[in-house]
């Protein structure tokens, strides 16, 4: 392989001649061979392209960058956003905790690509753009990386996760309305309880999702604040006056999302509580979705030796040895995703504790786990909705059988004959394998016509 020589403050480095990155990227590539498949999420790289373009415009407006350089930076950033330069970002998550090398990776690629666009040779002709002085003007990795974190996180939530949850919520609401006339047995402690309707049960699932969505949407307010303009420690050193406000306006313009400059840059660099808050909402949703998926697969258990109240879509064969077996695979996939999100929350929590003095140094870990959770949860909700929820059907024959066979219908007799006599009826029926009505009459506590009048599932919901 042919190489060219690149230089940084530590000296010379060999860089593959066909690559656009420079010395700092190459040093990171050599020094952090940790998890070769754990590349920095491209959402972060795209966020960097947006903020670098915004910074160039803001710097030009404020008279510290020429319009020619602004236009070159914008051109390359647009190429990054069009995914034309994907192979130029080789760095992994496990690098410096400030994300400095990924910031420089973007700076170097923009500067060297501008060199080619200007028909100059990288490393030989005078640089048309300098990675640090031009592309990184008015910036520090300490404020660009947290800004990229917020842009990437906010974007994936509003474009992937939230729409998927909204679609799932819509279908649970539809099922709740459709299933409302169907009376089924309730269960507490996994044991028979008093009746409710299948629609009421599904309305509980819809409300769990609705409340989680509300929490997630509320968290976007703090996530919309960006650190750019704080530079190294939050003071804004080397950034022109009003740069922070102007660059946030450009980021908002380029994304169509309501980003604004953080009121306190010291907090924005040293802590990541906005991401902790938003991911806590994702964890809340994961907990809720885990409950929903488990309920559905248990109600669908069988088809003949389980509960069998629900019929799920038969999407694929379930066994390589048992012919005809079909499993609740969408429920299993969703619950695995939920487990991953809960695990990611632990990593983010620990990462958020590493804000010492003026800088948190677990930034790559925090954003990588956040983006994985947001994308996984969105994708899993889409899959669960499309391949499971939409096709759920009630097994009404089995539901009626279980309702009328339940001993807990005896609860309706509490106000008529008292708790203790009602308990005696239930326990005797269970022991003898008889019905509640048979034992109520045999024990002399209830007449036949009164039992039929009082123990009516439709009156108990």
188 is in an annotated binding site: yes
Element at 172 (helix H, strand E): helix 162-178
Cα 377 to Cα 338: distance, rounded to the nearest angstrom: 7
Contact 180, 75 (CB under 8 A): no
CB-based burial, 158-181: b 16+ in 10 Å, e otherwise: bebbbebbebbbebbbebbeebbe
Which has the closest alpha carbon to 59: 138, 154, 4, 156? 138
127 is in an annotated binding site: no
305 is in an annotated binding site: no
180 is in an annotated binding site: no
291 is in an annotated binding site: no
142 is in an annotated binding site: yes
Cα 93 to Cα 365: distance, rounded to the nearest angstrom: 7
99 is in an annotated binding site: yes
* Catalytic site residue from 36, 189, 305, 356: 189
For tokens 């609401």, the residue is: 173
Cα 96 to Cα 79: distance, rounded to the nearest angstrom: 26
- Return the DSSP state at 160: I
Helix axes 100-117, 42-61, angle to 10 degrees: 70
Determine if residue 140 is left, alpha or beta; phi over 0 gives left, psi from -120 to 50 gives alpha, anything else beta: beta
Alpha carbon of 449 to those of 320, 414, 433: distances in Å?
Answer: 54, 17, 22
* Catalytic site residue from 66, 67, 301, 319: 319
Which has the closest alpha carbon to 247: 272, 230, 266? 230
319 carries an active-site annotation: yes
100 is in an annotated binding site: yes
Q: State both tokens at 103.
A: 């910031």
| Residue 120, burial from CB neighbour count under 10 angstroms (0-12, 13-18, 19+) | middle
327 is in an annotated binding site: yes
214 carries an active-site annotation: no
The catalytic site residues sit at 189, 319
Which residues make up each annotated binding site for substrate? 98-100, 140-142, 188, 320, 325-327
Residue list, annotated binding site = 98-100, 140-142, 188, 320, 325-327
């Amino acid at each position: 392989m042919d190489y060219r020589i690149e230089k940084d403050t530590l000296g010379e480095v060999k860089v593959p001649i066909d690559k656009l990155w420079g010395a700092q990227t190459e040093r990171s590539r050599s020094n952090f061979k940790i998890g070769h498949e754990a590349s920095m999420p491209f959402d972060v790289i795209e966020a960097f392209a947006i903020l670098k373009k915004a910074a160039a415009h803001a710097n030009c407006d404020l008279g510290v960058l020429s319009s020619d350089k602004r236009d070159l930076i914008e051109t390359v950033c647009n190429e990054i956003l069009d995914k034309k330069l994907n192979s130029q970002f080789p760095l992994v998550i496990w690098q410096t905790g400030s994300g400095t090398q990924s910031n420089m990776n973007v700076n170097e690629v923009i500067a060297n690509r501008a060199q080619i666009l200007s028909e100059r040779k990288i490393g030989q002709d005078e640089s048309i753009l300098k990675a640090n002085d031009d592309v990184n003007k008015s910036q520090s990795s300490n404020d660009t990386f947290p800004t990229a974190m917020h842009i990437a996180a906010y974007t994936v939530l509003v474009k992937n996760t939230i729409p998927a949850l909204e679609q799932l919520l819509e279908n649970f609401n539809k099922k709740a309305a459709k299933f409302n006339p169907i009376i089924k047995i309730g269960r507490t402690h996994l044991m028979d309880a008093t009746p409710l309707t299948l629609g009421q049960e599904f309305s509980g699932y819809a409300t769990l999702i609705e409340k989680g969505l509300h929490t997630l949407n509320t968290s976007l307010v703090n996530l919309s604040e960006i650190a750019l303009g704080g530079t190294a420690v939050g003071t804004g050193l080397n950034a022109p006056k009003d740069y922070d406000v102007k660059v946030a306006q450009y980021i908002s313009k380029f994304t169509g999302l309501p980003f604004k400059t953080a009121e306190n840059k010291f907090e924005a660099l040293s802590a990541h509580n906005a991401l902790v808050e938003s991911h806590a909402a994702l964890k809340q949703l994961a907990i809720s979705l885990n409950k929903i998926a488990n309920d559905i697969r248990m109600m669908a258990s069988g088809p003949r030796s389980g509960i069998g109240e629900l019929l799920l879509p038969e999407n694929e064969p379930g066994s390589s040895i048992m012919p005809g077996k079909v499993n609740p695979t969408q429920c299993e996939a969703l619950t695995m995703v939920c487990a991953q999100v809960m695990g990611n929350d632990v990593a983010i929590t620990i990462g958020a504790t590493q804000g010492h003095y003026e800088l948190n140094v677990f930034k790559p870990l925090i954003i990588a786990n956040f983006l994985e959770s947001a994308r996984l949860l969105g994708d899993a909700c889409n899959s669960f909705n499309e391949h499971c929820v939409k096709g759920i059907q009630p097994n009404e024959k089995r539901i009626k059988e279980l309702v009328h066979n339940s001993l807990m219908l005896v609860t309706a007799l509490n106000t008529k004959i008292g708790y203790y006599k009602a308990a005696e009826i239930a326990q005797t029926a269970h022991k003898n394998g008889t019905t509640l009505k048979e034992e109520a009459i045999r024990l002399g506590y209830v007449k036949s016509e009164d039992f039929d009048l009082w123990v009516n599932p439709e009156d108990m919901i």
